[in-house]
Structure 1
C-alpha cells in the first residue's frame, strides 16, 4: 500500500485571538511548521538503501544519497551503488553526479543536498536521505543553520550485530569480485600509487595497487596469491569501515542528542531466501513505516515546552484545550 505523503501534512495552525488584540503568534516562537525529512543511517552493508527504497515505495518520497563515494561517477560495483532494478522507479539524487577526480567535501554535499531536498519538498514529496557518510549528515543537519530552520528530521538507524555484519561484508566482497570488481578497479589504477583524491579513495581500489602493478610480470600462482591478499585487504577494510561508522553514529547520538529509532536487522541477515525477506519486513520495514507515518502526521507544536511568563501560561493551556 502506498501512503500519500500529502495526506499526513498538518493543516494550517489555528489562529487564536483574544480580547484586546492578544494573538498567540506573538508568544509562540517557530510558529511556522517545518517540512519533514527522513534520514536513514547505519554502517556499510546494513541495508540503508533497501530500507530507504522500501519507504519511498510506501510514501510519496524521493531519495538523496549521502555516501561520499557514491556521489562520484563510475565504480558502480566497487562503491556498491544501487542498480536501476533495485531503485524500483524511485528517483535518486546525488548518485553518480561528480567527476571521478574532483574534490567533493562536506560543504559541497550540504549545498547539493539542500538543493535536492528543497526541490523534493516543493513538489510535495518526502525527502529520504540515506548513506553511510555520517560527517555529511552532521554537516547538513547539525552545522547548517538554514537547513535546521526549515526542516524537522526523523532518524532511522539500521543496525546489525557486528559479527554478523562482518561475515556478510566478506561474502559481499566475494560477490563483487565475481561481478567484475577487479576489471572495474583496474581503470582507476594509478602507477604512482596516489589514491588520495576523488573516487580513487574508495575501498577496493588502493588495495589492488600492488596486484595491478605486478600482474604482467608474475606467473599464475604468484598473481593468484597477490590477488587473494588484495581481496583480504578489501574485506578487512570494509569491516573496519563498518566498525568506525557504528562508533561515529553512537558518538553523534550521544553528543548531539539525536533521537534515533534503532531497527535491528540481525535476524534478517541470519536467515536466507523468503525467511530473510519476511524477517526484514517484520523487524525493519514495517516498524520503520509506522515510525515515519507517525512522524509525518504528528502535531509538532508542543505547547507545554514553551517557556513563557506565568500570566501567559494559562492562556496557552486554554489554547491547547481548544486545539485538542
Structure 2
C-alpha cells in the first residue's frame, strides 16, 4: 500500500512580531459631535493617558460654548494640552500645531504616560503625522481610532446640539466679541456661529424686534447647516487619509449610541459599542500588536469584540 506524505509549510501567526521600541501615540479622529473627546478621556483614564487637543479653533482662548470646548467636569481630572492657549486674534497654523503637539507628546511620554491626540482638525493631524519629512512617524508608533456616526443620525444630533448651545448662551457669548470691523478670516472668529450671527448684531439699530427674531432664526439654521457641512468635509478627509495616505484606521460605529440618546440607555450603549472596543484596540496596541489589528467595528461586531475582551 502506498502512502503519501503532504509537507505543510508552517504559517507563523500574525501576532508573532517583536514589539516596537518606539513610544506609542493614540490618535482619535471623527466628525464634529461624534464623541472624540469623550473617548479620548475614557482611554486616558484607563491607560494613564493625557489628551492633546487637535482642534484648531478650540486651541484659542474664549468662546467655550461656540467651540464646544471640553468642560472641566468632562475632563475627569485628565490633563489636556493645547486647549484654550492661543490668542483669540491670532492664527494657529498646522506647522505650529505640529511643533507644539510634538513637544507635548515628548513631555507626556517622558512621564511614561500615553499621549492621546483628539480633535476635528484633520489637516492638522495629517501635518503632525505626515508633515515635517515624516519625522513624527519615524519617532512614534501611532494607533488611529475613528469614531463614526451615520450622517442622518449625526445631523439630527447636531441640530439638537446647536439648540442647546443657544439655550446655554451661545448668542450672548458671541455678542461679547462682536464689533463692526470683525475679521472672520483670522483667529477664533473663524468659528462656526460667529460670522453667521454678524447681521443679527448689526441689525440692532435698524430692525424691530420681530424682524430681528427672524434674522436670529435664520442665523441659527445657518449654524446648523454649516456644522453639518463641516462634518461631511471631516469624514471625506478621514476617508482620504485612509485611502490615499494609507492610514490604518480602527472604525468604531457609534450610530446606535446616538439613536438611543433620548431613551435613557445611551451611556450603556457608549460603553458597549465605543468605549470597550476602543480600550481593547488600545490595549493590544500598547502590547505591541497594534499594527496587525485592523477592524471596522459595527454594533454587531462590537458586541463580539467586547465579549472576546473579557
TM-score (norm 2): 0.85
Deviation at 1:298, TM superposition (A): 1.8
CA distance in 2, matches of 1:109, 1:208: 28
Q: 1:130 pairs with 95, 113, 118, which one?
A: 118
CA distance in 2, matches of 1:141, 1:289: 22
Deviation at 1:299, TM superposition (A): 5.3
CA distance in 2, matches of 1:32, 1:172: 42
CA distance in 2, matches of 1:46, 1:219: 39
- 1:230-249 Cα offsets, whole Å, 9 max, x none, are 10110000000000100010
Superposition map of 1:175-254 within 5 A: 175-254=164-243
RMSD value, Cα:
1.6
SS in structure 2 opposite 1:215? helix
| 1:282 paired to 2:281 | no
SS in structure 2 opposite 1:256? coil
Show structure 2 runs of 5+ residues with no match: 1-17, 293-310
> Residues 249 and 300 (structure 1 numbering): CA distance in 2 closer, same or farther, change over 3 Å?
closer
> Residues 213 and 287 (structure 1 numbering): CA distance in 2 closer, same or farther, change over 3 Å?
same
Q: Which residue matches 1:36?
A: 24
CA distance in 1, matches of 2:180, 2:289: 58
Superposition map of 1:133-148 within 5 A: 133-144=121-132, 145-148=134-137
Aligned residues between the structures? 273
| Conserved? CA contact 1:39–1:155, under 8 Å | yes
Q: Which residue matches 1:109?
A: 97
CA distance in 1, matches of 2:189, 2:179: 9
| 1:59 paired to 2:39 | no
SS in structure 2 opposite 1:204? coil
Q: 1:294 pairs with 278, 281, 284, which one?
A: 284
| Conserved? CA contact 1:73–1:97, under 8 Å | yes
CA distance in 2, matches of 1:301, 1:249: 19
